[in-house]
Each structure stands twice: as structure tokens, then as C-alpha cells.
Chains A and B, each alone.
Chain A
Amino acid sequence: MTPFYFGTGSRRLFGLYTPARVGAVGIRSVVLCPAWGQEYLRAHRSMRQLANMLNSAGFHVLRFDYFGTGDSAGDMTQADLAGWEGDIGAAIDELKDTCGASRVALVGLRLGGALAARVAARRASDVDALVLWDPVVDGRAYVDEIMLTGKQKALGLGRSTQRAADQGGGHEILGFPLTERLADDFSKIDVAAQIGSVRARTEVVVSHTLASHGGLAAALAAYAGQPPRAVELIESQAAWINVKEVGSGAVPVKILQRIVQWLA
């Protein structure tokens, strides 16, 4: 286990590298792309457990925090999605350099799935496999959903979620600032429209079905390459939903096992 900082002096990113525990044919490696806000916090245990299982299956793994999140430098008011896609790119380069892999797999949870799909499409020569785990598919629906939950909590406390314009504006969502710039970026996410441009082998695994999955399933079905693509439902508790107000989600073991099995 090696926690470290990488990236540039003005964009220092926290990473945690865990090496493969067993030898495998060739060097296999995975970058885990986290979710956003409370979903990121709640899913931390699951991401760690997934990394652990991947290590046992012979994968080198890099977990990391986007700029302005987690232990990385900066704060959310300085963040945007283009920057976070660049952070995934930096993580790919760092992992390749660390373990000597020529290509990596990306596993993205929730917002991380949408970002990973964009990066996989753009860096086809570096990304040989893509796993979208409960991905945010429709950005507009995602913003509506998180705004609603944020406002419900604030309403219970008799508070407003509105943020000051000189602090990036937008709203406070369950303790995390969703600036106007980020909300605008989020609302443009459309994974269904984009997934066709991903050349990497692709798996989509979901713990429960959302309305937006219909469009994604149709887009995956339209893929003419091999192997065929589909949305795989493995009914589980979601890693990113709070369990009994402890600030953490459940660890959906069946989904983690499926991700490892599919990658292996």
C-alpha cells in the first residue's frame, strides 16, 4: 500500500497504489474513478474493498481523488469536469509508469462512470477495458435528483441550500458545494449518446434499475462490435447510499465479485 501525491505542483492529486498480490500473465492494472460528494464518501469502503479484491486477483490498482475532493489539493469551487477527466488521464499515466502496464482498465462509480467513459473514448490506446458501476447516465436527471435530496435535508433544518455568487454560486448538496459551473457540467452528461465511441471492452453493472438505464441499454444494444454489450442488473444495496445515517454505504459484495470476475 503506497499513498502518495502525483500530478503537477498546481494540481496535486492524492493517490493510493496497491500492487497485485499474485502473479498474472502480463501486467494488469486498474484505475478506480470515484463518485462525487456524499456518494464518494459513502462508497469509500466499497472502493477499498474492490481494490483489495482486484489485488488478490492479480491486478495493480490505483485509487485517487479528483482535484478539489478527498485528500487532493484544491476545493470544489476550483473544480470542473474537464479538469477531473484530465485527473483520470494523469492517474492512467501514473499507474502505467508505476507498474509498467501498457494499458489499463477503468472502473467508474456513479459520476466516476460518466467521466471514465469519456476518458476511455478519448484515450483508446491506453484503456483496454471499462466498467461502469451504477453510472450517472443522464446528467440532467442526476442534478435534479441530488438537488432534491439536498433541498429536502436543508428544509428539515429550515435552511437554504443557495450558495453565494462570489463563491461560485449554485447550491449546497448534503454538505458539498455544487457550484453553478459544476451543475452546468453535470447536466451535460449523456453516457448513452457517448458510449458508442468507446472502443474498449465494456461492462455496465447496476445495483438497481433507473429510468435512464433504458436509453443506455438501447445504446449498448446498438453496438455492433464484440463482445456484445448490455446493462447487467445485480440487485444489491448501493455502495453510495447511506446506511442508517452512519455516513457510509453497504459493500455490495456480489457486484464487486462480478467486476473482478469480468475484468479477470
Chain B
Amino acid sequence: MVGMTDRIKEQAHVLGPRQSLVGILSPATPAPRDDIPYVVVLNAGIIHRIGPNRMSVNLARELCARGFNVLRFDLSGIGDSDPREDVLPPLEAATADLREALDWLEQSRGARRFVLVGLCSGADQSVIYGGDDRRVIGVVLLDPSIPRTGRFYRRHFATRMVNGRTWMAILTGRHALWGKLLRRISPTPPEPGNARDVAVDSPAVRAFLENAYQIAIKQGIKILAVFAGAGGREYEINYREQILDAFPNVNFGTSMEIEYVKQSDHTFSFESDRRHVIKVIVDWVQKIAGNPDRT
């Protein structure tokens, strides 16, 4: 695909009403039909728009080589984009930026339909925003926040119980269990740990996310959810269908496809994993959007 992506002439833009968001547009040549959606790639956490391991660049170029117009851009205050001057909280600021980017594509390029792609925080923002904008027809969620479930814990502890290193750690006093016991009897407050872990398992966050998925599905948005299962991620997700069990009130039906890349870490650090995930995304976008090559 290197030969195809080499021919792409990407364009750098400053977009939005405040001329403050920096984005790179990969325009497909020849231009696709009007009904072919634009793909918009969000930031992963605070990493700038090229994405972890330059994954967003490679994804944008592969999609572009297959006939899709693709925008990757920095949310305000991330990468090269200026901070917002209003005082919106982070999630509201991100969704406001996203709307500005989509409006810019609509006004300047005539884009009418969109597929959003996000990793980590970008995945959460994509599904939350998607339900609030009728122009969004699909979202690709790479390792979104998913609460742990009963089945997660059963699998987790079953794996640990047969692991000799776990027993050795308990017997030698190095296991986290001892720390938890000590904290219970200690007068000092417990360590906060990973705030994201704590937050995503809280009832309020679980309900908020479940509601976001419910709205997205009701609006007819198609979802591709990709999960990584290694490099520490196994402490948050350890089976393919966890998202279904985590949000039992959402009727995902045939609206969602799940890809579980068990051997990969959260940022898809290995080239083979990235190639695989990019192929899965490109194939899925073609399936839900129509194939621009087959006009």
C-alpha cells in the first residue's frame, strides 16, 4: 500500500470559527461521491493528531487510498491547537471542537455524513458526540472505556489462581492483596490508584456511558469496537463480549461489530497489530459507507 499512500497530497488547515484547530486533510483522488462519508480521526488522550506510534497517519492514508476523505485534527489545547477561551469542562470542550470540525468540513467541502474514529478518550468522545449529531453514521471505538463485569472478575481471578507467580507473591508478602489489607486497617486514606479505572467502574459513569451507547444505537449509528487485551489492558478487559455484559440495557443487535486483539497493548505498539486493526477498520468503513471504488 506504500505506493498508493505515497500519491496522497495531504493538506494542512487551521479550522473552526476561531481559526484555532489544526488539522490534516487527506483528500481522496478522484473525489468520492457526495454520499460517501468523511472519516474524522480524534486525538488519543493528549497525544497529538498523528496518534500513538503514528497510527492515525497510517490509518488516514490507508482510508484515503481506498477513496475516503479523512481529517485528523487536534482538539483545543492538545497538539498544535490553541486552547479554548471559554471555560467549558473537558468533555464539553471536546464535543464542541468536534462539532466545529464537522461544521467546517460541511461548509468548506460539502461533507454531509461522517464516521468518527477514536482511541481511548477519543473513542469515548466519539460515541458520546455521535448520538448528538445526526450527521454521524458510524463510530470506530479503539479501546473505549468499558466497566468491569462479573464475568471479567471470574476470569481474572481464575487466571490468577492458577498462576504460580500469584501464589509466590502472596507467600512472600509482595502481592497487592497485602497492601489492600494494610490500607483497610491503616488510619491513612487509601491511595487513589488509577483515576480512569475507578471512574469507569462507578455507577454514575457506567450509567452515563450506557446512556451514550443507547442513544447512539437508537440513532442508527453503526459501531466498530476494537479491544486490546494485553500490556496492562487485561486488568480492564479480558473477554471479547465484555461491552455487551457491561451495558445490558443497550440493544446492540447487529449495529455493533467487535474485534478483540488479545495479544495487543492499548496503543497497538506492534506493526502487525496496527496493520491488522487498520485493515479491520478500512473494511468496516467500506462496508457501512459504501465502497467509493465501486461508484
Interface residues of A (CB under 8 A from B): 1-5, 12, 14, 16, 41, 44-45, 48, 69-71, 73-75, 77-78, 153-154, 156-159, 163, 167, 172, 174-177, 246-248
**A38 — nearest CB in chain B belongs to which residue?**
B53
CA distance A136 to B270 in the complex (A): 25
Quick check: A153 and B50 within 8 Å, CB to CB? Answer: no
CA distance A167 to B263 in the complex (A): 22
Quick check: A159 and B52 within 8 Å, CB to CB? Answer: no
Quick check: A44 and B45 within 8 Å, CB to CB? Answer: no
Contact residues in A for B11 (Cβ distance below 8 Å): 5
CA distance A167 to B271 in the complex (A): 11
Quick check: A163 and B54 within 8 Å, CB to CB? Answer: no
CA distance A158 to B150 in the complex (A): 28
Interface residues of B (CB under 8 A from A): 2, 6, 8-14, 22, 24, 44-50, 52-54, 57-58, 79-80, 82, 230-231, 263, 265, 267-271
Contact residues in B for A41 (Cβ distance below 8 Å): 47-48, 50, 52
Query: How far, in Å, is A5 (CB) from chain B's closest CB?
Result: 6
Quick check: A172 and B270 within 8 Å, CB to CB? Answer: yes
Quick check: A156 and B231 within 8 Å, CB to CB? Answer: yes
**B22 — nearest CB in chain A belongs to which residue?**
A3
Quick check: A73 and B269 within 8 Å, CB to CB? Answer: no
CA distance A69 to B231 in the complex (A): 25
Contact residues in A for B230 (Cβ distance below 8 Å): 157
Quick check: B50 and A5 within 8 Å, CB to CB? Answer: no
* Chain A interface SS verdict (over half): mixed
CA distance A174 to B80 in the complex (A): 23
Which 6 residue pairs of A and B lie closest in terms of their CB atoms, listed nearest first? A175-B53, A3-B12, A175-B269, A247-B47, A44-B48, A4-B12
Quick check: B80 and A1 within 8 Å, CB to CB? Answer: yes
Contact residues in A for B48 (Cβ distance below 8 Å): 41, 44
Query: How far, in Å, is A228 (CB) from chain B's closest CB?
Result: 37
**A245 — nearest CB in chain B belongs to which residue?**
B232
Quick check: B14 and A2 within 8 Å, CB to CB? Answer: yes
**B120 — nearest CB in chain A belongs to which residue?**
A247
CA distance A56 to B269 in the complex (A): 37
Taking a contact as CB atoms closer than 8 A, the residue among B8, B22, B54, B265 that contacts A70 in the complex is: B54
Query: How far, in Å, is B193 (CB) from chain A's closest CB?
Result: 12
Quick check: B270 and A12 within 8 Å, CB to CB? Answer: no
Contact residues in B for A154 (Cβ distance below 8 Å): 270
Contact residues in B for A4 (Cβ distance below 8 Å): 12
Taking a contact as CB atoms closer than 8 A, the residue among A16, A75, A157, A248 that contacts B46 in the complex is: A248
Quick check: A71 and B10 within 8 Å, CB to CB? Answer: yes
Quick check: A12 and B9 within 8 Å, CB to CB? Answer: yes
